[in-house]
Amino acid sequence: MSVRIWMRVCLITVLLLFCYGCVHFSIRYTIKNALENIDTNQIEFSYKDLDLSLLTMSVAIDSPVFTLANHIKVSATGVKLSGIHPKKILFDKKIEASSLELNVPRIILTESISKSDSTKTPISSKDICINHIDINDGSLKILNQNGSSSGFQIFNIQGFIKDLVVNTEALKRKIPFTTSSFEMTLDSLQVSLDPYHILKLRQSTLTNTNIELKGLQIVPLMNKAEFHQAIKTEKDYIHMNGALLQIEAPRIVDQQKTLHFLSKKIKLDSFQLDIYRDKRIANDTAIKPLYSQLLRELNTKIQIDSLAIINSLVRYIEHPDSDADPGKLEFHELTLHTGAISNFENAKAIQVNISSSFMNQAPFEVEWSFDSNDLSDYFNIKGSLLNVRAASLNSFLTPVMQIKAKGALDKMYFNFDGNHKEAKGAMQLSFQKFDVEIYDQETKKLKSLLSSIANMIIGGQENKGMVTKDEIDVERDPTKSFWNYFWLCIRKGLLEIII
């Protein structure tokens, strides 16, 4: 081969290498510049090294760290971006790739100290579009404002995200990206609910069409004696075990001022809730809003087409403010079904239907309605308790009201209308043989005269069939919950009928 040919070959080779180097440098510089331009008054991005391969059209980033507004930090041991498009990177101001692999990502969220941070608008010079993202062995942790652990932790996050888009418009929203679909599995979730209880989750699967949470638990962090030493006012000591919580068709709609959460149905299956309260401890005098007000004042707008609880059990034990034994209420085979639950301005009243086996013995049915848009917090609650034995009633009436019943109630009906101040309603009782013994609250001795008078009244009404008491008036204690309010209605009706 002549010298001239060799020179041409060498020249072409040098030119090709030079062009390759220029393209490589340009793309690498453009990617680095785009990553560096992510830095704004709200966003920081750093990494150890960046490796570009034009042969495989891939970019590998070593130890990237992304921080948003000083309260979101995402890091990973490595990130690999494959299927990049050089032309779009160089000329179209867009970073596109077919896939992204995130290895051991660690997400740390810190509670925001200042709300003003959220008003700053981040700026990105390039749109980012990635067709498929794989997440391997991720974790999530939430910290308090001072950097201490809030108790919220998730481990072993595995999954994928499809069609991720990040652009200037997306970064202005509360959720700074869009996706077409996703699927995540995770386990070992732990959330601190308060200083005394944690929420645990064994396993969950999250997709854009369905969320399944399995093995939910609320676990006390101390025993009852320690709990009562720790609290200054009345609080519930809670155990909970739940087999499955399912959210169908979940959607989060990002609006300028608020988030909207939408779902077709939420179902809780096989939950057991145990609540213990000690009335010997000082009252908690904080105002307890009714459910309508709680919904109305949520920062997030919600629309849940239906809520269902099935195959569940609620057990409530209350130690009275005396030396009497604790009172107990149990609701077995509990089911709850609702219509639409919403706090939008045009929302209709919420309808709730509850059925259970009271003390695992007597059918108990409740129909309850309330309106989140009614500023008076109007509600109606009505229902029935059938064929209940005296022993079932005594498990709560005797310790709490110092009343002991004998015999059985064939039927009890109630119907109350109320608001955040007072309730009015009626009760009906039907019985064949029903006697009461009334005991002194202090001495625990039988009040023979009062018991005899009460039984004379009951006996005198017995032959009339259904005993009805109208115009039962109840004043709400705003420092107590709705369920205490409901109990006051039932208690007042019982006392006015049998005493």
pLDDT digit string, tens, across residues 99-117: 989 999 998 888 764 444 4
CA dist 98 and 82 (Å) reads: 6
Upper half-sphere CA count for residue 134 (Cβ side, 13 Å):
11
Mean pLDDT check: name the lowest of 65-79, 167-181, 338-352, 436-450: 436-450
What is the average per-residue pLDDT within 210-238?
Answer: 95
The b/e string for 404-438 (b: 16+ C-beta within 10 A; e otherwise) is bbeebbeebbbbbebbbeebebbbbbbbeebbbbb
Please, which pLDDT band fits residue 450 given cuts at 50, 70 and 90? Answer: very low
Choice among 21-30, 63-72, 106-115, 341-350 with the minimum mean pLDDT: 21-30
Average pLDDT on 113-132 reads 60
Same domain, 206 and 179: no
Do 2 and 111 reside in the same domain of the chain? yes
Rounded Cα distance between 485 and 118, Å, is 40
Average of per-residue pLDDT across 223-228: 94
Q: For residues 256 and 268, state if they share a domain.
A: yes
- Give the integer Cα–Cα distance in Å for 149 and 145: 9
Predicted local confidence at residue 405, as pLDDT? 75
Give residue 438's pLDDT.
65
pTM above 0.85, yes or no: no
Query: Do 140 and 261 share a domain, yes or no?
Result: no
Q: Are residue 162 and residue 222 in the same domain, yes or no?
A: no
- Considering the domain architecture, whether residues 176 and 276 belong to the same structural domain is answered as no
pLDDT of 348-384, one tens digit each? 999 999 999 999 999 999 999 999 999 999 999 999 9
Average pLDDT, the chain: 83
- The domain boundary, picked from 192, 215, 239, lies at 192
pLDDT at 340: 96
* Claim to verify: residue 61 and residue 182 sit in the same structural domain: yes
Question: Number of structural domains, the chain?
Answer: 2
> Final residue of a domain: which of 145, 171, 192?
192
Q: Taking 70 as the threshold, does the pLDDT of residue 187 lie above it?
A: yes
Sheet containing 251-254: order of strands: 251-254, 259-263, 301-304, 341-342
Token pair in block for residue 343: 């706090």
* φ and ψ at residue 446, rounded to 5 degrees: -65, 130
Shared domain check, 414 and 347: yes
**3-class secondary structure, 421:** coil
What are the percentages of helix, strand and coil residues in the chain, rounded to 5? 20, 50, 30
| 445-474: b (≥16 Cβ within 10 Å) or e | eebeeebeebbeebeebbeeeebebeebeb
Q: Say which residue, 470 or 245, is predicted with more confidence.
A: 245
Residues 6+ apart with CB under 8 A from 255: none
Q: What is the pLDDT of residue 456?
A: 43
Give me the mean pLDDT over the 434-455 stretch. 51
Which amino acid, one-letter code, is at 422? E
Q: What integer pLDDT is reported at residue 32 of this predicted model?
A: 63
Whether 375 and 339 map to the same domain: the answer is: yes
Range of 223's domain? 195-499
Alpha helix ranges (H) inside 38-154: 86-91
